[in-house]
Structure formats: structure tokens, C-alpha cells
Structure 1
Amino acid sequence: MVRRLPFLLGGIALFLVNALTLSIGFGFGLSGVPAALLIAAPVVLCWYRPMAAWWLALAGLLLLTLLGPVLSDDEALQYRPWLLNAIPAHLAVVYVLALSVRLRIAIPAFVIYLAAGALTPIHLLDDLPNAIAGAIVWAMAVLVAMVLGHNKRVRLTSTLRIAEERGRRLVLEERNRIARELHDMVAHHMSVIAVQTATARYRLPGGVSEEASREFQAINATARESLREMRHLLGVLRDPADPAETEPPPQGLADLPRLMESARRAGTPVRLAVVDTPDPLSPAAALTAYRIVQEALSNVVRHATGAATRVEVAPDETCSALIVEVHNAPPDAPPPAVERPHPGHGLVGMRERVAVHGGDMTAAPTPEGGFIVRATLPLASSTGAGEPSPDVMDGGDGRDTSDDQRIDRR
């Protein structure tokens, strides 16, 4: 929430200034060095442990206030918490504490801090009016630091809550889209069942018995009812504000070459290698593999235009899972800034699609400066994949600007 370096530099500066000021100006002598350390150490510590820094600052405030008249040779220059050489340390500690903890903890801490600082006027009875005025100014400054810290905490908490809600909404949107695609596949299979059961008596040689005919009719009725219920479910999942989908859905791995050409037209050289996959590969798994490649290539086109990219789809060594990998090299030049009306969330969609199949996915930058997306999709069954026969395509340019392909690498 706050940067570390200013606190480190501020603590070092406070230590050096106070070591000289207390030792020479205040007459502390050698004891001015540990006294300066008590003032400066909480500033460095508060970035790591705000509550521990507050306790250390409180101990330093009490010790220096009580021992100041003993350590200082000049009574007029006894230690006071509101002097300019010490007040930055108090403000930093209280600000970070209020930023880091809830108000029910920050308020008691503030009150205890003020009570400790109020001991100073008691030791300065000879100059009580000025001591009280100084204590009031110091207390107001510490109060302002606490209010500013708590105010920033409230704003950050609100921002995090909004980001969390937005993240949940994006996940739900992706799940709805995946559910609609799966609905299309299941509806197709149910339609095939309905047609086959309705026409069985005419297709099978010699016809079917009356009992088998009634069984086929019952299956046909169940399939049709299931289709009606699935249409109702799709109506619930569909957002009326969503644009109508007019393009035919992709057929899976068979459409990958067309996707590669689109990326090449966008100026991204792509190399595709598809190794024979185990039979059978379900339509849902094939569509998931296609969508992962689509989203990953969109990510490359958007964030690393012109970077050499390799797409590989192959079974693992045991042919029990399908590995989808998209690896791009570092771009030759930073991509141009493109304003987007809606931020992409392709990584969210990829993870949700892989999770549907019980697989896992990793997406991370490479040490060379590129990026790699790797997804593992378990296969329901595997019968062996034969000899690899990669279908390799190279080079080219093109652009595919559909919203489904946009990826936000954040």
C-alpha cells in the first residue's frame, strides 16, 4: 500500500540528524546515538510490522520523555516529542498504523500515544503554557496523520472490494458462456438421439418388434423433453444485452489452421504443430483446446505483436491427457497502446474452461521475456496415439479482432 524505500531513507536520515542534534545540540553526549536510534528505528520497522513499530515508538517516547531531563545537560533543550527533529517519526508511525489496522485498534493506540506524550508538560512545569501549546500542536499533527491513514485505508478497502466483485462477475460471465457452448453440444447429441429413436422402425432391416418400438418412442419423448428443458435453461443463462451470435461455432482442432492464418495476418508469425490425439477426443475437449489457443494468440497479438509464437497440441506421454501450449518469444518492440472499451479477461476464461475438464493451466512470463500458456486437459479414455505427425505451418500476418480473443495479462 505504501512504498518501502521512502521509509528506509527517512529512517536513515532521521537517525543521522538526531544523532548529531541530540549528542551536540541537546547535550546528550554519546547517549544521543541510542536515543536517535529509538526515534528512527520505528520509521523503518513500520513498513514491515506497523504494530511492533508503534510499540517501539511508544517505548522510545516514554523513555526519552522521562530520561530527557537526566540525559540533557541543558534544561532548556530537554527532549520534547513535538520538536521538528522527532515529529516526522511520530507522524510516519501513526499514519502507517492507521493504514494497516482497523479503527477499533487505531483509536486506542492513538489515545495511548497522546497520553504518553502528555507526560512532557508535567516535566516542564517552569514553562507550562508553552509546553501545553506544543503538546496540543503535536497532538493535532498526530491526529491528522491518523485520519489520513484511515481515510486511505477506507479507499483502498473499497477499491479491493469492487475489484473482488468484478472478478466474481467476470468468472460468472465466463461460466455462462461456457455453459451456452456446452448446451449447443449436448443439444446436438440429444437431437441425434431423438431422430435415431424416431426413425429406428424405418431404418432397421426387418423392422422392430412392438415392444422395442414402444421403448424407442419412450426414449424419443425423453430426449425431446430434455431438449425443451435445456432451451429454458439456456434462456436463463443468456443475457438479453448480449449480442446475437451469428457465426457458426468452431469445430475444435480442425479450425486451428484458420486461426493461425488470422494471427499471421495480424503480423504475428505462428508455428503450429498438432500431434495425433488419442481417440476419442470429445467435442467439448476439442472446443476447449481451440478456445485456449484462440485466447492465447489474441494475447500475443495484443501484447507482443510480431513475436515469434509456437502453438503445440499433443497428448502427454501416457496419452491420458491433452497438452495445449502457446509460447511466444519477446516482441521486437513494445506494442502500441490500444484503448479498449472493455478490459479483456481471457485468462479467466481459459482457467474456467480447463477447470470444467478437471485439468490445470499455467500462464507466466518466461526468463527470456516471452510468455507461455500451458493447459492440461485429462482425456476420458485413451487408446494410443500412434506416431506423431505434426502439421507445421510457418510465418504470415493477419488480425482477428473478435471480443472473445481479447486477453488481459493482468
Structure 2
Amino acid sequence: MVLSAAHRARIPASVRFEPRPMLWRWPFLVAAGLLFAGNALILRDPAGVLVALLLALPVALCWYRPMAAWWVMVAGLAVATPFTMLAGGLVVPPWYLNQLPVPLIVLYVLALSVPLRVALPALTITLGVGCAIAVLVVAGGPNTPMGALTWALALVVALLLGHASRARRESTLRIADERGLRRVLEDRARIARDLHDVVAHHMSVIAVQAATAPYRIGEGMSERVAEEFETINAAARSSLGELRQLLGVLRDPSAPQPGLAELPGLVAATRSAGLPVRLELPDPLPDLPEEVSQAAYRIVQESVSNVVRHAAGASTVVRAHLDEKGGGLVVEVVNGRPAASLPPLRSGSGLAGMRERVAALAGSFTAGPDGEGGFAVRAILPLEFDGEPAR
């Protein structure tokens, strides 16, 4: 099972596997210093010091930029042996100890850092440069065929070891992410069980009591009170249905959720509860991404719930339409001045939840008094997004 970026984004930071650096930095700097000092002592003259620097630089650079280090290494490989022969008649082939560690280290780190389809062409070019030096520069030298063959095999082994380390590390990261995702799914299932055991039970009791109240009270109940009990029963049943949907989403994130098409039913239920609310939707409904449609429904749901709690009886308008450019869905819930003053209620997390929903889609959200005694909630949900939260 390979996790997508979206799945990894759902894993909380507390259960993610945070890898340590693959390799420590200081050994490369020490190795580069030793290589520079050794080659500077062998070559001695000022130009030779520049060649020594060219040989040591890839080792120091490969921890930071493996591909750039490889290019510098190839340049040093092509220059070092011809320069030593022209400068002092000294034959120092690439398979000698003063040069051999350079391609071994660089190719190992390169294979550890990039896919094999990139590392293999780099190895081929390196071997080609080395073979060209063996044939054109040091041909006829002592043990040239055996030295070149040993050098080539060493480079192949270094690249294979680096690739094996990379594959092992990717496997470890994948297993750790899968364990993190499993922990998230187990927590979601536990929350679903708790919600079912606690909330669903009490909502069921409310629905049953509201449905049987007219029969238990008898003929002394007025028609208006009976209608109120019927409204309570309908709201409780609707809440139970949405709770079951939420439990299904917690158990299976791919389960369907209400969207823009379900807004008329939500508004009708709210209107039956006594809130004068009007819905304005485009006809026909636009074809929206699932995430946008779900977010719009939840924003309207939370907004009208806030109106019922904080401004009961206030005239409310719910609007949803595409913006002028057609690149985003505009959701507005505006209520007027409440019909009667209510005692202040403790603020919940409704606005914060709406703001988080909009931020998850990289949209914009505003909420506050409208200057006429009412309250306005406005969200713009882009129809195209990358799944990353807005900054």
C-alpha cells in the first residue's frame, strides 16, 4: 500500500514518522579535507593545488547537492590524470588511492538521493570518462586493464549499495506512515463508537418522547403544542440521520455526505422550527467538486444553527452562487435584527470550524455584524484547489 500525499496530510504530526538525516555532514567535510591535503602534497605546484581542490570539492558538496557534486567530480576525473602527466610526467590514474574515494563517495550519495533511472546514466558517463582516460592517457601503463576493471566494479558496487539504502529507507518511511494512518483510523472508529453510544442514545430518547408526548398527555394538549412536539421529533430524527452519516464518514472517509443539493431540505427543517429563512440557489445547480459542495452545506448548517441560538426569529437569507468569473462558489448567510433580545449564550467553536473548512480549500471567509443590527457570514470556496491548507 503506497500512501498518497492526501492520505499523508491527514495523519496528525503526533503519529507521523519524522526521519533523521540519512548521513551525517561532518564525515564528508573531513574526507574532503584529507583528500585535498593528500593530493596537494602529491601534486605540490600551485596548479596542482587547484586540481587537488577540484578532487576534494565533490566530496564536500555531495551532502548538500549530490547532482552538482557529480558534475564537479566528472570534471575533476577528466582533468586530474592528464594534468599530472603534462605537469610532471607523473601517472596518477583514477583507480589510485588518491582519486578512488571521490567517485565512490559521490556515486553512493547520488544513488541514495535520486531514483535509479537518474543514477544509472550518471554511472555510465563516469565509467565512460574513466575508460577514455585508461585508453587515451594511461594506455600501456602497469596493470592498466586490471586497475580499470577493479575501479569500474567498485563504482558499480557503490551505486548499488546507495540504491539499496534508498530502497530500505523508503520502505521504512512507507511502513511508518501506514502505521500512523492505521492509528488515525482506529481513533476515528473509537470516536464513532463513543458518539453512537452517547449522542445517538440521547437523541433517540428525545425523538421518542417528542413523538409519544401527544398520546401521553391526551386531549388537554393544544394544537399548537402538538405541532411543536412534531417539530421537535422531526428535528431529532433529522439530527439522528446526520449523526449516522457522520459516523459513517468516521468509519469510512469515502462515505457520501450532504452537499448543495440538500440545502432546500435543511432550510425547510429550519423554517419549520420557527426561523423565517429564505434560500436563493442558482437553477440549475452548478456542477461542483464534492469537497466544495460539502463545505457549503456545513457552513450554511452551522450558520443557521447560530441564528437559531443567538438571534431567534431573525429574518435570514441563505445564498449560494458562483462568482462573476466562475472560479469560486460564494456562500452567504445574512440574518437581520432578532425579533426579541435574548440572554447571551456562551460562544462555541462554530465560526472557527467554518473558518477551518474554508482554509482547507484555500478560500476566504468573513463573519461579523452587518452594520444594521444583524450578522453576516460570507465564504468564497474556489472550485480548483491543490488540497493544501491556505497559509
Alignment TM-score, normalising by the size of structure 2: 0.54
**Aligned-residue offset at 1:135:** 0.8
Return closer, same or farther for 1:85/1:91 CA change in 2, 3 Å cut-off.
same
**Aligned-residue offset at 1:125:** 2.8
- Corresponding residue of 1:162: 175
- Corresponding residue of 1:3: 24
CA distance in 2, matches of 1:236, 1:97: 44
- Indicate conservation of the 8 Å contact 1:198/1:220, yes or no: no
- Corresponding residue of 1:143: 156
Tell me which amino acid in the other structure corresponds to 2:208.
A
CA distance in 1, matches of 2:184, 2:103: 44
State which of 112, 127, 131 in structure 1 corresponds to 2:144.
131
Q: Give CA-to-partner distance per residue, 1:289-318, whole Å, 9 cap, x none.
A: xxxxxxxxxxxxxxxxxxxxxxxxxxxxxx
CA distance in 1, matches of 2:202, 2:355: 23
1:56 counterpart = 2:72: yes
CA distance in 1, matches of 2:217, 2:115: 75
Q: Give CA-to-partner distance per residue, 1:120-163, whole Å, 9 cap, x none.
A: 22212332x61121111111111110000000000011111112
1:46 counterpart = 2:62: yes
Higher relative contact order (CA 8 A, sep 6+): 1
- Indicate conservation of the 8 Å contact 1:12/1:40, yes or no: yes
State which of 84, 88, 110 in structure 2 corresponds to 1:68.
84
Moved more, 43-52 or 56-65: 56-65
State which of 113, 116, 134 in structure 2 corresponds to 1:103.
116
- Corresponding residue of 1:181: 194
1:196 counterpart = 2:217: no
Count of residue pairs brought into register by the alignment: 243
CA distance in 2, matches of 1:180, 1:131: 74
- Indicate conservation of the 8 Å contact 2:39/2:52, yes or no: yes
1:206-221 pair list within 5 angstroms: 206-209=220-223, 213=226, 216=229, 220=233
**Aligned-residue offset at 1:190:** 4.0
**Aligned-residue offset at 1:321:** 6.4
Percent of pairs with identical residues: 47
**Aligned-residue offset at 1:110:** 0.1
CA distance in 2, matches of 1:321, 1:79: 77
Q: Secondary structure at the match of 2:143?
A: helix
Tell me which amino acid in the other structure corresponds to 1:52.
A
1:17 counterpart = 2:38: yes
- Indicate conservation of the 8 Å contact 2:105/2:158, yes or no: yes
1:89 counterpart = 2:102: yes
Q: Give CA-to-partner distance per residue, 1:21-52, whole Å, 9 cap, x none.
A: 222xxxxx222211111111100100000000
Return closer, same or farther for 1:195/1:321 CA change in 2, 3 Å cut-off.
closer
CA distance in 1, matches of 2:61, 2:149: 27
- Indicate conservation of the 8 Å contact 1:201/1:213, yes or no: no
State which of 153, 156, 165 in structure 2 corresponds to 1:152.
165
CA distance in 2, matches of 1:172, 1:133: 58
- Corresponding residue of 2:309: none
CA distance in 2, matches of 1:58, 1:320: 66
Return closer, same or farther for 1:232/1:113 CA change in 2, 3 Å cut-off.
closer
Tell me which amino acid in the other structure corresponds to 1:151.
A
Unaligned runs of 5+ in 2: 1-21, 253-345, 358-366, 369-391
Q: Give CA-to-partner distance per residue, 1:62-116, whole Å, 9 cap, x none.
A: 1113323212x2x3x3221111111111111010000001011100000000001
- Indicate conservation of the 8 Å contact 1:43/1:92, yes or no: yes
Return closer, same or farther for 1:49/1:237 CA change in 2, 3 Å cut-off.
closer
CA distance in 1, matches of 2:238, 2:140: 95
CA distance in 1, matches of 2:30, 2:348: 53
1:257-406 pair list within 5 angstroms: none
- Indicate conservation of the 8 Å contact 1:20/1:32, yes or no: no
Return closer, same or farther for 1:356/1:162 CA change in 2, 3 Å cut-off.
farther
CA distance in 1, matches of 2:179, 2:355: 24
Tell me which amino acid in the other structure corresponds to 1:18.
N
CA distance in 1, matches of 2:73, 2:92: 14
Alignment TM-score, normalising by the size of structure 1: 0.51
CA distance in 2, matches of 1:198, 1:48: 74
Two-structure CA RMSD over aligned residues (Å): 3.8
Return closer, same or farther for 1:154/1:70 CA change in 2, 3 Å cut-off.
same
